[in-house]
Structure 1
């Protein structure tokens, strides 16, 4: 049981929805047999009942196979199962004709007539509903349902029905098959929507990283581009002055040296601003990103009064932990707690998506340990109970003028 539960938890949300959808259609096949096939035994006795039930079971198997192949096609894993759809249509036609033949050539029994009509209507209804999985356009779905309904109406005449009864049979198949077809189409739409939302979430994360890289590139370009242009101009001027033997060349090269040192300082400031993370901003951002991803995020504690280097180190912990929750887990709840314990500050990030959370050897966590080691901090990660993953970072707080 534990392994089965772990198999389910290891799946991503889209994969869970796909598994649920796939097995729902397989379950429909069982419902089909239970609702259409098994009641035959209470209406007909002997070999006729066995044959009718076997026909229903065979048709249910064909429907289940068609549904599986159609879902694979929907997810782009195979080509459209055109041949299987034709097989489904052919099997449905053969079984319908066989049921009509049994009703005509069998004994004159009201129970047999009721059983034959029930199987006839059930076969056409489920064939139309499952067949709708293999087509995409609305017109084709409507044509499929309408065609089976028309076939049901025409098939009422060999069963001994008059015009009103045959029309009622066609309408019953039209309503039932239309509902099942709508369920099939809606299930496929929902499955595709879940996969598209998951792709959009990953794209949003990549865009956030790309935007940050662009921001860093723009800042670096602004600093380096302007100063390098000035250095180039002053160097060219110094060369011209030196060729003429004028002493102002030294002044120009001195200015070049000063600008070069200034550029180095500005680049360090840009890189430092890029590397440092504000803890308050990261906590707010983590809560917003996780909430947008459908994960309930609870944040407790305030970073006020913590030294800048401590906030920077813990900010990176929050950033990396948030990324891991989104990328590796399938969490529903994430709790981020910041608290002080004597001369140390403790940051805890706990989520209930442990089945896909990273281990202790990931490059991201290794980088966090290096950052925390620079401020004498420690990092501990791992599952704490069934389905729960916890990350704990501890950093000593050095007394500063702004607080401790």
Structure 2
């Protein structure tokens, strides 16, 4: 049961991550596995199978194998910090790189000693040299710009080739060592830097979408503010002037003061109607447009969406309320789950309009808790006599809104003050 519980916990944690977080997690897992695979194929096996039987050779060889494993452990522990530095989340990992560089130097010294005592058969030491630079250069690929990376590689290459030349290696094996060290560094660079660059672009695009959404909200607020200013600015100025004139006329006992106050009343009532029209236009949503937009957005995100039903002919209040349900439901599908398909159905039966949004891939635990947007939708639907239900069953999340076809006039249609009080609730999530 403990193992099953852990598996469910990991599965729940996986589904709660966004798509870009899953891509990053997969990339980090591959980067953790790569040094161990290369350690086994390039380091441990060639060294273990080609060591001479004498004691110095075996001592040096197995010390190299243990040091290679320590290199892998260290790069696994420090890789996340190096990646975070590349993505701009953490400072330069100087201490981690110093430890990694020290382990690489130790491996190089052991390789030189093993070659000097003739403790390895043939040119198998070259494969170990190809591996020994991988863990260090894997971290360097995240932490340094490409120009600095090339400089570090040139220094390591020259040191390695110079060290083996100093102990008497001058044949073709020296060239092979240079080639394999360059190959190991290239593998470390290409396998890490390309993936990290892709992650940085994806995170930048994600931040750009968030900024775009905030700008859209700010632009809409500015538009709404301009509309209110245009409506109220002139009318309030006229009301102030006519009120002042009426006060002056009343002090003088002039009957024209009554006419001026009647005009003030007329302008106030006109302003109330104009504000109501502005706010109604801000809050109303056309259901057909929202359905088409939801289908387009979901399919653009790689989620097939089927829309069934025809919203034409429904009252404007019903379309507005259900349109906000479509917006919130679409947002939840994109933000909170890993849906593979989505279905939106609109039906009218027995004097009631029913909107259903169904998708898979939403964790049941999360679906059962709802979210901050659902209470706002319930309030909006309650204003037109509607209800909202949601449930998770068999891996499917279903959001169902029901509204009477001919709802009664809600409070928002009676007075401008009530309507304005409801305007902030226009944000469903």
- The answer, yes or no, to whether TM exceeds 0.5 is yes
What is the total number of aligned residue pairs between the two structures? 394
Q: Gaps (5+ residues) in structure 1?
A: 400-404
Q: Does 1:176 align with 2:184?
A: yes
Paired with 2:118 and 2:170, the residues of 1 have a C-alpha distance of: 20
Contact conserved, 1:286 with 1:319, CA < 8 A, in 2? yes
Q: Does 1:384 align with 2:396?
A: no
Q: Does 1:128 align with 2:137?
A: yes
Q: What residue is the counterpart of 1:396 in the other structure? A: 404
Q: What residue is the counterpart of 2:86 in the other structure? A: 74
Distance 1:348 1:20, change over 3 A: same
**2:400 partner SS:** strand
Q: What residue is the counterpart of 1:114 in the other structure? A: 123
Q: What residue is the counterpart of 1:231 in the other structure? A: 239
Q: Gaps (5+ residues) in structure 2?
A: 1-6, 408-429
Question: Which segment drifts farther, 183-192 or 352-361?
Answer: 352-361
Q: Does 1:4 align with 2:2?
A: no
Within a 5 Å distance, the mapping from 1:350-361 to structure 2 comes to: 350-355=358-363, 357-360=366-369
Contact conserved, 2:386 with 2:403, CA < 8 A, in 1? yes
Pick the aligned partner of 2:108 from 88, 93, 96.
96
Q: What is the TM-score with the length of structure 2 in the denominator?
A: 0.83
Please state how far the C-alpha of 1:244 moved relative to its aligned partner.
4.1
Q: What residue is the counterpart of 2:50 in the other structure? A: 43
Q: Does 1:279 align with 2:279?
A: no
Contact conserved, 1:332 with 1:352, CA < 8 A, in 2? yes
Please state how far the C-alpha of 1:149 moved relative to its aligned partner.
2.5
Superposed CA RMSD in Å reads 2.6
CA offsets 1:215-252 (integer angstroms, 9 cap, x no match): 22222111111211111222233233334443222211
Q: What residue is the counterpart of 1:17 in the other structure? A: 23
Contact conserved, 2:345 with 2:357, CA < 8 A, in 1? yes
Q: What residue is the counterpart of 1:222 in the other structure? A: 230
Contact conserved, 1:66 with 1:84, CA < 8 A, in 2? yes
Pick the aligned partner of 1:337 from 345, 359, 373.
345
Please state how far the C-alpha of 1:330 moved relative to its aligned partner.
4.1
Q: Does 1:325 align with 2:333?
A: yes
Q: What residue is the counterpart of 1:402 in the other structure? A: none
Contact conserved, 1:359 with 1:382, CA < 8 A, in 2? yes
Distance 1:45 1:10, change over 3 A: farther
Q: What residue is the counterpart of 1:63 in the other structure? A: 75
Please state how far the C-alpha of 1:158 moved relative to its aligned partner.
4.4
Please state how far the C-alpha of 1:351 moved relative to its aligned partner.
2.7
Contact conserved, 1:157 with 1:166, CA < 8 A, in 2? yes
Within a 5 Å distance, the mapping from 1:135-214 to structure 2 comes to: 135=144, 137-158=145-166, 160-162=168-170, 164-214=172-222
Pick the aligned partner of 1:256 from 237, 261, 264.
264
Contact conserved, 1:63 with 1:127, CA < 8 A, in 2? yes
Distance 1:273 1:26, change over 3 A: same
Question: Which segment drifts farther, 95-104 or 282-291?
Answer: 282-291
Q: What is the TM-score with the length of structure 1 in the denominator?
A: 0.88
Please state how far the C-alpha of 1:391 moved relative to its aligned partner.
0.6
CA offsets 1:158-216 (integer angstroms, 9 cap, x no match): 46432654234223322431242133222221222222222222223323322322222
Distance 1:361 1:191, change over 3 A: closer
Paired with 2:335 and 2:221, the residues of 1 have a C-alpha distance of: 20
Q: Does 1:302 align with 2:310?
A: yes
**1:381 partner SS:** strand
Q: What residue is the counterpart of 2:39 in the other structure? A: 33
CA offsets 1:321-366 (integer angstroms, 9 cap, x no match): 2233344334454332223345433211123341285545544212
Distance 1:67 1:370, change over 3 A: closer
Please state how far the C-alpha of 1:295 moved relative to its aligned partner.
4.4
Paired with 2:349 and 2:123, the residues of 1 have a C-alpha distance of: 78
Question: Which segment drifts farther, 92-101 or 338-347?
Answer: 338-347
